[in-house]
Amino acid sequence: MKGMTEEAPEEIKERVKELREELRKHEYQYYVRDNPLISDAEYDSLLQELKELEEEYPALKDPNSPTVRVGGEPRDEFTKVEHSQEMLSLGNAFSPEDLRAFADRIKRRLGKDEEFNYVVEHKIDGLALILRYQAGELVLGATRGDGRTGEDVTANVRTIPAVPLKLKREVDIEIRGEAFMPREKFISLNERRLSRGEEPFANPRNAAAGSIRQLDPGIAARRPLSFLAYDVIQALEYSCSSHLEALKLLAELGFKVNWHEQAGDIETVIALCQDWVKRQQELEHDIDGMVVKVNQLDLRPLLGATSKSPRWAVAFKFPAQQKTTRVKDIKISLGRTGVLTPTAELEPVEVDGSTVSRATLHNEDEINRKDVRIGDKVLIQKAGDIIPEVVKVIKEERTGQEKKFEFPESCPACGEPVFRDPEEAVYRCLNSTCPAVVRESILHFVSRDAMNIEGVGPALIDRLLEQDLIENQADLFFLEESDLIQLERMAEKSARNVLEAIEESKSRPLARVIFALGIRHVGLRTARLLTDKFGSLARIREAGREELEEIAEIGPVIAESIVNYFATPRNNRLLARLKEAEVTMESKSRQQSLTLEGYKFVLTGQLENFTRQEAAAEIEKRGGRVTASVSSQTDYLVRGESPGSKLQQARQEGTKILTEEDFLQLLTKED
């Protein structure tokens, strides 16, 4: 073709530019504004003209041209991408009382003088995406993944018509939103699949997630996906002081923004949530609840987060779908901490688009409180739409043949007596060599969020334990190819792949190693806090309870658990073996020297060079801690223009008061 070798004439370049601008305008009007200005046939004609010109003059092709909506070349696999900020899961609220408790926690942490309000949004039942733009051009679309690392699905994201390929301004910005499938289009898609003899999707959420994770963008392009934006992660050219401002910015840039409404107090929030319980079917897409967020962005770092969830937001979950079924049996399973968990084996039943055949019964007290018996007819639901649970027993259906469940006095895996702490609701097997506990500990160690050793799953671990090739996690690092080849269904290539994956895992970051150890109460976030504070396993082992409790978010229970772990000889033998295998024992690098470690700060007033959120981040990455109110423990109060009552409180406490200039000098000097 002539365009392959010669540069396109200026009039062709200009026509291509005009077509792209025209098509983007009509995409915005149709998919964002719901106000089409031309017919589908007219749009298709313009798109076809652009496609033909790009094919004739390949040098004019653009990764964000409207023609990419039809898909591109299939990919072999998705590459991993690190998120610029960790994506935590939201905590759940199921009742007005839960929402009021959420509000009370915020007030306690901020103090009575801090004013704030809320933004309430729909909780879209789809797939969360992170979109990154440079100079207004889409450069990355990624899935949430494990919260820190997702999959690069840019080629598929570009096929979603409601995702702007080029923003209305040339900005560098990263945002979050939800890809979803409208309800009617989901029904039509399933009808087409059935007509072709294909399996229908269980629900719109699964259909959306399955479409985004197709290796062939052409398949994603044929799926009727849409997108709603709901959060700004980073915007270099803009500084938003509130979540409402961030949502307004998203709309101005060309995004279709999730429904939202401001609420001045928690009772207004509750009224909105209860209203949408009744109105959810009015929407074109599924929602499974409402999201409640603190509107003021500078308060979020002060509120902080738990190991799993931000404290400034909560998801109000709609009442779950409930179904009846029968309890066939009750079985006991063991976790890595030795907890015995009873699980009801059920006659399979469809709930919220998936088949449920098991439901947790939590503990002995729960079984007794609900009086669950083998053979009972029960009402079940998915708690938080995820974990199946028994809601109640339908006692009117009892025949007299039902059997009471007796909690075992000895561990079903090793036969040792089980123990129940009077302050806990669970029974534990205290035998550290119990085969079930060892197995679960190793499974946790190799899991994705921990050491992420690909190819080492339950089946292989069972075979390694059966053949006495391993006794604990550390033994994995001393396996040889000859050990693996002797196992059933293990070829030489598979054995080499496993050994390479094990070898690669030795260099995992220290936080992942700490989490992989399975210390009770220590999740991945707590592991990162320990890494930031101490920098090595040796220093953590030396730390006492008081030193551990100095870390924000680590209280007496977690501190005691950490101290007890390192006081156990068996655990120290395991650590020595891991060190011998050259697994990471120290933090590889630290972004900032922790020069403000141990100091507590309070911020008040309007700063010129920082938002309060940015100032808090500068303090925290140097090891300092920002609190919401002044106390005798406060070291510094940083004051800006128009300070509040905290300034007077600081003077009364004798707290050192810093102007913004003093604060900048402190940061510069400490660096």
Beta-carbon count within 10 A of 229 CB:
26
Mean pLDDT confidence for 559-568 = 94
Closest CA to 596 of 569, 560, 622: 622
Give the model confidence (pLDDT) of 567-614 as tens digits. Answer: 999 999 999 999 999 999 988 655 445 678 778 899 988 888 887 777
- pLDDT for position 276: 95
Please indicate, yes or no, if residue 425 is contained in any of the structural domains: no
CATH number at residue 282: 3.30.470.30
398 & 463 share domain: no
Please indicate, yes or no, if residue 157 is contained in any of the structural domains: yes
Residues 514, 531 contacting (CB under 8 angstroms): yes
124 & 145 share domain: yes
Mean pLDDT confidence for 18-33 = 80
Q: Which residue bears the tokens 């036969």?
A: 415
Report how far residue 644's alpha carbon sits from residue 114's, in angstroms, rounded to the nearest whole number.
Answer: 9
98 & 191 share domain: yes
Give the model confidence (pLDDT) of 218-273 as tens digits. Answer: 888 888 999 999 999 988 778 888 999 999 999 999 999 999 999 999 999 999 99
559 & 543 share domain: yes
Is the pLDDT at 353 greater than 90? The verdict is: no
Please indicate, yes or no, if residue 592 is contained in any of the structural domains: no
Give the model confidence (pLDDT) of 53-67 as tens digits. Answer: 888 888 888 887 878
**Residues contacting residue 175 through CB under 8 Å, at least 6 positions apart:** 130, 131, 133, 229, 231, 232, 233, 250, 255
- pLDDT for position 1: 45
Is the pLDDT at 12 greater than 70? The verdict is: yes
Is the pLDDT at 537 greater than 70? The verdict is: yes
The catalytic site residues sit at 123
DSSP designation for 475: G
- pLDDT for position 6: 59
Residues 292, 313 contacting (CB under 8 angstroms): yes
Size of the chain, expressed as the number of residues it contains: 671
416 & 440 share domain: no
| Structure tokens belonging to residue 542 | 């030396």
Q: Which residue bears the tokens 């006991």?
A: 332
Is the pLDDT at 76 greater than 90? The verdict is: no
Is the pLDDT at 186 greater than 60? The verdict is: yes
Residues 547, 597 contacting (CB under 8 angstroms): no
Give the number of domains in the chain.
6
Residues 316, 93 contacting (CB under 8 angstroms): yes
CATH number at residue 646: 3.40.50.10190
CATH number at residue 372: 2.40.50.140
- pLDDT for position 411: 94
Task: Tell me if residue 149 falls in helix, strand or coil.
Answer: strand
Question: Distances from the Cα of 111 to the Cαs of 105, 253, 302, 524, 615, in angstroms?
Answer: 10, 36, 11, 29, 19
Choose one of 21, 39, 61: the last residue of a domain: 61
Mean pLDDT confidence for 25-30 = 79
118 & 229 share domain: yes
Give the model confidence (pLDDT) of 401-460 as tens digits. Answer: 999 999 999 999 999 999 988 878 899 998 888 999 999 999 999 998 899 998 999 999
CATH number at residue 477: 1.10.150.20
DSSP designation for 641: B
Q: What is the mean pLDDT of the chain?
A: 88
Alpha-carbon torsion (247, 250, 254, 258), positive or negative: negative
| Structure tokens belonging to residue 458 | 């339950």
347 & 443 share domain: no
Is the pLDDT at 638 greater than 80? The verdict is: yes
Report how far residue 106's alpha carbon sits from residue 311's, in angstroms, rounded to the nearest whole number.
Answer: 7
Please indicate, yes or no, if residue 75 is contained in any of the structural domains: no
545 & 654 share domain: no
**Pairing relationship of beta strands 339-351 and 427-429 according to DSSP bridges:** antiparallel
Can you give the residue range of the structural domain that contains 291?
91-317
Q: How far is residue 233 CA from its own chain's centroid?
A: 14
Give the lowest-confidence range in 2-6, 8-12, 465-469, 537-541.
Answer: 2-6
- pLDDT for position 268: 97
187 & 248 share domain: yes
Choose one of 505, 539, 554: the last residue of a domain: 505
313 & 348 share domain: no
312 & 328 share domain: no
| Structure tokens belonging to residue 81 | 């991408």
Please indicate, yes or no, if residue 84 is contained in any of the structural domains: no
- pLDDT for position 72: 59
- pLDDT for position 592: 45
Please indicate, yes or no, if residue 543 is contained in any of the structural domains: yes
Please indicate, yes or no, if residue 73 is contained in any of the structural domains: no
258 & 179 share domain: yes
pTM beyond 0.85, yes or no: no
Report how far residue 61's alpha carbon sits from residue 78's, in angstroms, rounded to the nearest whole number.
Answer: 23
CATH number at residue 17: 1.10.287.610
Question: Distances from the Cα of 659 to the Cαs of 600, 603, 609, 653, in angstroms?
Answer: 16, 10, 12, 17
293 or 306, which is more confident: 293
Of all residues in the chain, the percent with pLDDT exceeding 70 is 95
Please indicate, yes or no, if residue 525 is contained in any of the structural domains: yes
Residues 637, 646 contacting (CB under 8 angstroms): yes
Mean pLDDT confidence for 642-668 = 88
Q: What are phi and psi of 291, to 5 degrees?
A: -110, 130
Choose one of 41, 61, 81: the last residue of a domain: 61
Mean pLDDT confidence for 138-155 = 89
